[in-house]
Amino acid sequence: MTDKSTLSLVVPVFNEADSISPFINKINGVFSGRSDIHLEIVFINDGSSDSTLENLIQTQSDYPNIKIIDLSRNFGKEAAITAGLEQSRGDAVVVIDVDLQDPPELIPSMIEKWQEGYEVVLACRTNRDSDSWLKRASANSFYWIHNQLSNPKIPANVGDFRLMDRVVVEALKQLPETHRFMKGLFSWVGFKSTVINYSRPKRETGVSKFNGWKLWNFALEGLTSFSTEPLRIWTYIGLAVSIPSFLFAVFIAIRVLISGVDVPGYASIMVAVTFLGGLQLIGIGVLGEYMGRTYMESKRRPNYIIRKIFEVEN
């Protein structure tokens, strides 16, 4: 660190035209009067179809410390965060959402922890009352299941909102994955970390771009990115089904030899066939998830394509 450190805010945006101005106003309020921090704000326009890009360009004329990365299409939040990290230049980098559910007022406390020597400062949500009951329950279930199956563990109720030292960002830039589960990658690189708790407020503008289906696929991405345990579990399920089936077959054979009569039931046969068929299809689906990931990774396509970078020359 120098006497004046550069802090980069990485802000992915997708159809957030109404959120730009409130976000900038809030950031200005937090950092006004701070002479020890040179602030860089890196917006990543992830293929927005509304006036987000136009609003960003207009805002940049008043705030030359804004850098705009315009992607060629919508690549998803994980790719947008990756683009922002690779284009940022700060001694420390904060990933933050534009909807103000990640409170900018927490950033000065993060900076203090960073100046104390921590390389990663996590923001942990202690209160998620702004989310629906179903979303809270599904999130808690995901964190529990993921941490039971995967290594490294990811901290529960910690999103993308965090501060990272430049050394952490450089480590993340070395990871070549195409399918990126950023929460897992953040945990995988390690480094000296601490946690700051906060109560998550309601979204001030716009609407969430995540629906139930997208969250489900995101959860599958997380589970298959950092663990092969689902494959091993299906081996155990296969054993649990086949061993009783074998024993039952032996029992039937012995009964036929002793009594000479065996009348199979149609209902029991159908139950057995459909049950085993369902297990096989689920097992094939699990295999397919991993094979699909291998296939996509083998193409070595870039995580994103930049259409244009808007930056004010210093």
Chain segment 150-189, per-residue pLDDT in tens: 677 777 778 788 899 999 999 988 888 877 777 878 888 8
Going from the first residue of the chain to its last (314 residues), give the mean pLDDT of each consecutive group of 10, the final group possibly shorter: 76 89 89 83 91 89 90 88 90 89 89 90 77 65 68 76 91 83 81 85 60 61 65 71 69 69 58 69 74 75 88 72
Per-residue pLDDT at 167: 92
In this structure, the strands spanning 120-127 and 37-45 are unpaired
CATH of 5-212+302-311 among 3.30.465.10, 3.40.50.10260, 3.40.50.150, 3.90.550.10: 3.90.550.10
Which pLDDT belongs to residue 1?
A: 45
pLDDT of the residue at 136: 64
pLDDT of residue 165: 92
CB 218 within 8 A of CB 179: no
- Alpha carbons 82 and 44: distance in angstroms, whole number: 10
What's residue 10's pLDDT?
93
Q: Which two tokens stand for residue 190?
A: 């390690």
Instruction: Give the CA dihedral 268, 269, 275, 281, nearest 10 degrees.
Output: -170
> 156-171 as b/e, with b when 16 or more CB fall inside 10 Å?
ebbbbbbbbbbebbeb
Cβ–Cβ < 8 Å for 94, 54: no
Could you tell me the residue ranges of all domains in the chain?
5-212+302-311, 229-298
Contacts of residue 268, Cβ cutoff 8 Å, sequence gap at least 6? none
- Cβ 150 vs Cβ 224: under 8 Å: no
Spatial separation of the C-alpha atoms in residues 87 and 42, rounded to whole Å: 8
Cβ neighbours of residue 148 under 8 Å, at least 6 residues apart? none
**Token digits of residue 157:** 């109720």
Q: How far is CA 307 from the centre of its chain?
A: 24
Residue 213: its pLDDT value, please? 59
Q: What is the pLDDT of residue 12?
A: 92
- Residue 41 gets the label, from left (phi > 0), alpha (psi -120 to 50) or beta, of beta
